[in-house]
Structure 1
Amino acid sequence: MRNMLRTPVLFLVFNRPALAERVFARIREAKPRVLFISADGPRAEKPDEAEQCAAVRRAVSLVDWDCEVQTRFQAQNFGCKKAVSSAIDWFFSQVEEGIILEEDCLPSQSFFKFCQELLRHWRSDERVMQISGSNFLFNQSAGSDGSYYFSRLNDVWGWATWRRAWRHFDSSMASFPAFTARDRLQDYLPSASMRAWLMGYWEEAYAAVGSKRGDWSSLWQYAIASQNGLTAVPQVNLVANVGIGNGATNTRGGSWYIYGQVGAQELAEIRHPVFVLPDTRADERRFAVIQQTDRRAQIPYARSV
C-alpha cells in the first residue's frame, strides 16, 4: 500500500486499555509496515492490574493491515525505568531508526510523517540525536526559518531516534562522575537555572543506578547532553498527552494539567531550517513552562551550578 508508513514504530503499553486503544487507532491509521509492541507486566501488589494489562494486550494485538508485528509481553513488572529502556534496546537491536509512542501519547498523522522525514534527513548527522513530537511553547513561535527548530531540551511524549544515537544511552551513567568533575554541563547549557534543574535530576538518577527508582528519560537526556546533542522540535505540537491525572506514573494532576490543554495539530508542510544551532530563546521559553510545573526547576529548589 502506497500510503503505509515505512518507518518502524515501537508502541510501549502497560495498564490503561482505554488510552491504549485511542493511540492504537492512530497507529492503525498510519499503517506502519513494521510494528513492535512492548508491555510491562502487572505489579504483584495490585491485584486488579493483571486484567487491565491483559485488556491492553488484547486491544493492541488487533492488527488488521499488512504489517510485520513483534511483541514483547512481560510476565513480571520491571518498572518504568527498566521496562521502557530495555524495550528501546530490543527495538534498536533490530532496526536502525524508529518512532516511539507510549499508551498515553496521542499523535496527529503529521507526527508520523514529520518523524519519517526527519529521520531520513538527519540520518547521518551525529549532531541530531532526537526528533520530538512535542512543542510546549504555547503558540509562541521559535526563531527558526523551518517548520522545526533545534533544542538542548527534549520531551519524550512521542519521539523518534536512531540506533546510532541510542547507543549512547547507558543505564549505569558510567561517564557521569567525569562529566561533573570537568563541569561539562556549563559547556552545554548557558542558563544556570537550567543547569541546576537538570543536574538535580541526573544526580538523583545516578544515585538510583541499579534500582527500580528513577526514570529512563533522565538517563536519555543525560546521554544527549554528554554528546553535545540536539533535539529537533516541531513549530506546532504534534502529540497530545491524554494520560495526565489518575493512573499516570509521573504526571498526576496539579500543575501538570497545563500540558493536557495542548492538543495534537497537523503540519501543513515540512521545511528544513538552514542553520543547525540550538534556539536559546525558545529553550528559555520552554523552561519558563517547566518552572510552572516542576518544583525542582523553581527557586529556591534550583541551586547554582
Structure 2
Amino acid sequence: MTATSDFIQTRSPVLFIIFNRPDTTAQVFNQIKKAKPKRLYIAGDGARNERPGETQLCEAARNVVNEIDWECDVKTRFQDVNLGCKDGVSTAISWFFEHEEEGIILEDDCLPADSFFSFCDNLLEKYRYDTRVRHITGCNLQQGKKWGDASYYFSNITHVWGWAGWRRVWKDYDKDLKRFDESSLRYEIGKIFQDSFILDSLEQIFKELKAGKIDTWDYQLGFLNYLNNGLCIIPNVNLISNLGFGTGSTHTVNTDSPYANLPVGSLTKIVHPRYFLPEKQADLFTLSHDFNIEERERRHNLLRRKVKRWVKEKLMTNE
C-alpha cells in the first residue's frame, strides 16, 4: 500500500499539449498549476489557414505560459504551421521524451483530478523497469464498475485521456505502423480478443491507419501495446474528465456520449493488485460500447434467423 496526497507537488515532468481552445486550456492548466511540476513542457500546433480566427485562438491558448507563477523549468514548442492530430501530437510527445525518461502527458481537454498526479508519480516509479507495463492512464470508462479490491487494474487497452509513460515504450512508437502488415494482424490480435466483431473493427481501423485515412496518433499506441503483449494501468476510479466533446472537437463530437464530462474521483492511497493479469471483462465492456457490439450482434442474429427461415421455406416449397 502506498500513501498519496491530493495536493503534494508532483515529482514527474509534465507535457501539456494545447491547440485552439483557450477555455479548456485554462481549466486544465489550473490543475497543473496546483501540482506545480518542476519541469513543464508546453507544445502547441499551428493554426489552420482555412479556419478564420483560429490564429487568435491558438495565441490565446499559448498565453497560458504567462500564468506560470511557481519555480519551474519551462520549455515550449509552438508550431507556425498546422501539423494535424497525428503529427502534431506525436511529434510533441517525441520531443518530450527526447528530454525526459518518463512523465505525465495531458491534452488541453483532459481535466485531471487532484490525485491524478500523485497516482502517476507512484506508478511511474513502481513500474519504471517492469517491461510488462507499458502505459498508465487516468481515465476509467467503466461507468462505476470496479474490478477487484485494488486501486487499479491491468488492461490490454491503452487510454490516452490523461496518461503517463516512459521513454522505453515511446521509443518503439510507429505512427504509420510500418513494422506490421494486414495479413497477420487478425491472427495476432485474436490471441487477445476472440469476439469477431471486435476483430473486424480493429482490423478495419488498422487498414485505415495504414492507408492514411485516419488523422490520429493514439490508435497506433494501442496497436503497439497489443502487439507487444503489454499492459495498461487503469485506476478503479475515474481521474480524468474529458471536456472536449462538442462541435469544436476533431473526434469527440457527440455531447451525448456517456464518456463526456465524466465526474472524477480521488485516490488517497494506492493499493496494488495481487495478480498481474488483464481484466478481460473490463476490456470487453469498453470495446463493446466503442464498437457497438451488442447492436451489431442483434442485427447479425436477426439476419441469420431470416436466412434460416428463408432456406426452410424454400426446402418446404420444393418438397
Moved more, 267-276 or 178-187: 178-187
Where does residue 177 of structure 2 map in the other structure? 173
Can you give the 5+ residue segments of structure 2 that lack an aligned partner in the other structure? 1-6, 301-319
Where does residue 286 of structure 1 map in the other structure? 286
Aligned pair partner of 1:164 in 162, 168, 173: 168
Where does residue 196 of structure 1 map in the other structure? 200
Measure, in 2, the Cα distance between the counterparts of 1:169 and 1:277: 24
Measure, in 2, the Cα distance between the counterparts of 1:260 and 1:90: 29
Measure, in 2, the Cα distance between the counterparts of 1:181 and 1:247: 34
Where does residue 142 of structure 2 map in the other structure? 137
Can you give the 5+ residue segments of structure 1 that lack an aligned partner in the other structure? none
Measure, in 2, the Cα distance between the counterparts of 1:298 and 1:50: 42
Matched residues, percent identical?
A: 39
- SS state at 1:43 partner: coil
- Structure 1 residue 267 corresponds to structure 2 residue 264: no
- Structure 1 residue 236 corresponds to structure 2 residue 270: no
Distance 1:49 1:165, change over 3 A: same
Contact 1:291–1:298 (CA<8 Å) still a contact in 2?
no
RMSD: 2.2
Moved more, 159-168 or 34-43: 159-168
Contact 1:20–1:60 (CA<8 Å) still a contact in 2?
no
Q: How many Å apart are 1:193 and its aligned residue?
A: 2.7
Q: How many Å apart are 1:167 and its aligned residue?
A: 1.3
Moved more, 282-291 or 54-63: 282-291
Q: How many Å apart are 1:250 and its aligned residue?
A: 0.3
Q: How many Å apart are 1:289 and its aligned residue?
A: 2.9
Aligned pair partner of 1:122 in 122, 127, 132: 127
Q: How many Å apart are 1:184 and its aligned residue?
A: 1.0
Where does residue 296 of structure 2 map in the other structure? 299
Scaled by the length of structure 2, what TM-score is found? 0.87
Measure, in 2, the Cα distance between the counterparts of 1:298 and 1:11: 38
Q: Rg larger in 1 or in 2?
A: 2
- SS state at 1:6 partner: coil
1:51-83 CA-to-partner distances (Å, cap 9, x unmatched) read 000000012442100111000000100001000
1:139-190 CA-to-partner distances (Å, cap 9, x unmatched) read 1111x33110011112111011100011121123122217726821112323
Aligned letter for 2:9?
A: M
Where does residue 89 of structure 1 map in the other structure? 94
Aligned letter for 1:231?
A: C
Measure, in 1, the Cα distance between the counterparts of 2:17 and 2:242: 14
Measure, in 2, the Cα distance between the counterparts of 1:182 and 1:18: 42
Aligned letter for 2:281?
A: R
Where does residue 34 of structure 1 map in the other structure? 39
Scaled by the length of structure 1, what TM-score is found? 0.90
Aligned letter for 2:153?
A: Y
Aligned letter for 1:146?
A: A
Aligned letter for 1:160?
A: A
Where does residue 305 of structure 2 map in the other structure? none
Aligned letter for 1:226?
A: L
Aligned letter for 1:285?
A: F
1:226-249 CA-to-partner distances (Å, cap 9, x unmatched) read 211111000010000011012111
1:72-111 pair list within 5 angstroms: 72-111=77-116
- Structure 1 residue 15 corresponds to structure 2 residue 20: yes
Measure, in 2, the Cα distance between the counterparts of 1:187 and 1:281: 15
Measure, in 1, the Cα distance between the counterparts of 2:185 and 2:106: 35
